[in-house]
């Protein structure tokens, strides 16, 4: 029995020594070169990103191969960082086992904006390559960094819902009731429109019912954006007298236009919606769902309705004599439950998802 214990002790000692020796071998698995360099692009190279070609190549990176003195797979990670930050918060762009990487226009633009570069303004980013091997005890090797100059473009503008508030509107100064939406352009998220009745003394726009910010108002002839309630409160969009106005706002350029509306003023007895969205097939075109007319403005209509994926149109007075779609065609709708708003003065509509 004692001999067995001695044998087990010897095995444990040998195993421990082997483990320590193996660990030491892992720890000294380091890159053989004192440094490695990025070959292309050259530091200081400049690129203007073109939003019309998002899938084109914007940046081709190549770098020197790193040797660790023994056959092993080396992984390289391209890292970007805001200039003059010493890579305090690097952003990993792509990982590869080759010594080159290709980055598209859209990818590079997104990272440039994420790292604080401004659209249409020339700025700089620092770039480096990090090499590692598949061993937790090995130290990563970092290339000599370079600096590149980029001019990004504004990315896809997010969809924002805007609601009316202020003495000129049905809601008054309430942000919790009767806040009518204005109408987002179906092809350009930066542009919103509203044609309708206003009381005197103007209005502002809020992004969320129930909250005073984010909001939009005026600063002289320009639009002023209020991101939080602690920001400066903007002025109202002016309506000097009660009446119908046409209003346009561009959220990207922060411009607006408001003028009296002088177009047709036909008042309809009913507005309904019809289409395959009601049943999921063509039978829905034989059905109609009535919208409710606004008591504040007889040309604004609303209904809350669950729709199937499909097509639809709006009809006046239960007749095809007057109907509205999308540029004359059908309106394409994704399945869901919506507050559906319609304006019979200009044929604009909004679908706001609801629980």
Residues 37 and 126 in one domain: yes
3 state DSSP class of 10: helix
Read off the pLDDT of residues 229-254 as tens digits, 9 standing for 90 and up: 989 999 999 999 999 999 999 998 89
Distance CA 265, CA 60 (A): 59
293 token code pair:
């007319």
Q: Is 131 a member of any domain?
A: yes
> Residue 60: which CATH number?
2.60.40.10
Give how many domains the chain has, as a whole number.
Answer: 3
3 state DSSP class of 226: strand
> Residue 273: which CATH number?
2.60.40.3620
Give the pLDDT mean for 72-97. 92
Strand pairing category for 57-63 and 46-48? unpaired
Residues 275 and 242 in one domain: no
Final residue before a domain boundary, out of 204, 231, 263: 263
pLDDT score of 32: 56
Residues 6+ apart with CB under 8 A from 298: 267
pLDDT score of 157: 83
Read off the pLDDT of residues 257-287 as tens digits, 9 standing for 90 and up: 999 999 999 999 999 999 999 999 999 999 9
For residue 308, give its domain range.
Answer: 265-355
pLDDT at 187 over 60: yes
Angle at alpha carbon of residue 11, lines to 7 and 15, rounded to 5° = 170
**Could you tell me the pTM of the whole model?**
0.65
Residues 330 and 217 in one domain: no
Residues 244 and 278 in one domain: no
Residues 234 and 275 in one domain: no
Give the pLDDT mean for 67-77. 85
Final residue before a domain boundary, out of 130, 151, 172: 151
On average, the pLDDT of the chain sits at: 89
Read off the pLDDT of residues 192-221 as tens digits, 9 standing for 90 and up: 999 999 999 999 999 999 999 999 999 999
pLDDT score of 125: 97
How does residue 33 score in pLDDT terms, banded at 50, 70 and 90?
low
Query: Percent of the chain scored above 70 by pLDDT?
Result: 89
Residues 306 and 332 in one domain: yes
How does residue 71 score in pLDDT terms, banded at 50, 70 and 90?
confident
pLDDT score of 151: 95
Q: Do residues 207 and 166 lie in contact, with contact meaning Cβ atoms separated by under 8 Å?
A: no
Closest to 248 in 3D by CA, of 190, 297, 303, 296 = 190
pLDDT score of 21: 43
Task: Centre a 10 Å sphere on the Cβ of residue 68 and count the other Cβ atoms it contains.
Answer: 20
Read off the pLDDT of residues 299-349 as tens digits, 9 standing for 90 and up: 999 999 999 999 999 999 999 999 999 987 999 999 999 999 999 999 999
Q: Is 311 a member of any domain?
A: yes
How does residue 158 score in pLDDT terms, banded at 50, 70 and 90?
confident
Give the pLDDT mean for 60-85. 91
pLDDT at 183 over 90: yes
Q: Is 22 a member of any domain?
A: no
Residues 177 and 224 in one domain: yes
Q: Do residues 31 and 66 lie in contact, with contact meaning Cβ atoms separated by under 8 Å?
A: yes
Residues 205 and 275 in one domain: no
Read off the pLDDT of residues 49-63 as tens digits, 9 standing for 90 and up: 998 899 999 999 999
pLDDT at 110 over 80: yes
Q: Is 347 a member of any domain?
A: yes
218 token code pair:
């005026």
pLDDT at 24 over 50: no
Number of Cα atoms under 13 Å in the Cβ half of residue 144 = 12
């Amino acid at each position: 029995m004692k001999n067995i214990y001695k044998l087990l002790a010897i095995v444990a000692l040998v195993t421990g020594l082997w483990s320590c020796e193996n660990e030491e071998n892992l720890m000294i698995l380091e890159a053989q070169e004192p440094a490695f360099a990025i070959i292309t692009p050259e530091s200081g190279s400049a690129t203007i990103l073109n939003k019309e070609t998002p899938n084109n190549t914007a940046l081709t990176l190549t770098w020197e191969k790193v040797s660790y003195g023994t056959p092993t797979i080396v992984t390289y990670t391209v890292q970007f960082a805001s200039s003059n930050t010493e890579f305090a918060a690097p952003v990993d762009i792509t990982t590869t086992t080759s010594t080159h990487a290709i980055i598209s226009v859209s990818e590079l633009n997104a990272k440039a904006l994420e790292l604080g570069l401004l659209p249409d303004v020339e700025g700089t980013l620092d770039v480096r390559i990090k090499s590692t091997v598949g061993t937790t005890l090995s130290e990563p090797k970092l290339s000599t960094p370079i600096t590149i100059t980029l001019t990004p473009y504004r990315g896809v503008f997010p969809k924002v819902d805007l609601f009316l508030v202020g003495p000129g509107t049905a809601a008054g100064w309430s942000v919790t009731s009767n806040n009518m939406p204005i109408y987002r352009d179906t092809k350009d998220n930066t542009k919103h429109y509203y044609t309708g009745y206003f009381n005197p003394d103007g209005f502002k726009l809020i992004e969320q019912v129930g909250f005073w910010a984010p909001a939009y108002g005026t600063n002289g002839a320009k639009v002023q954006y209020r991101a939080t309630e602690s920001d400066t409160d903007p002025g109202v969009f002016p309506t000097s007298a009660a009446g119908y106005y046409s209003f346009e706002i561009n959220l990207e350029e922060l411009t607006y236009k408001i003028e009296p509306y002088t177009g047709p003023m036909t008042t309809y007895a009913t507005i309904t919606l019809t289409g395959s969205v009601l049943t999921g097939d063509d039978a829905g075109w034989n059905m109609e769902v009535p919208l409710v007319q606004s008591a504040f403005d007889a040309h604004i209509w609303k209904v809350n309705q669950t729709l199937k994926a499909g097509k639809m149109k709006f009809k006046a007075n239960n007749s095809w004599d007057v109907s509205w779609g999308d540029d004359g065609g059908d309106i394409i709708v994704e399945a869901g439950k919506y507050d559906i708003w319609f304006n019979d003065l200009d044929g604009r509509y909004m679908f706001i998802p609801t629980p």
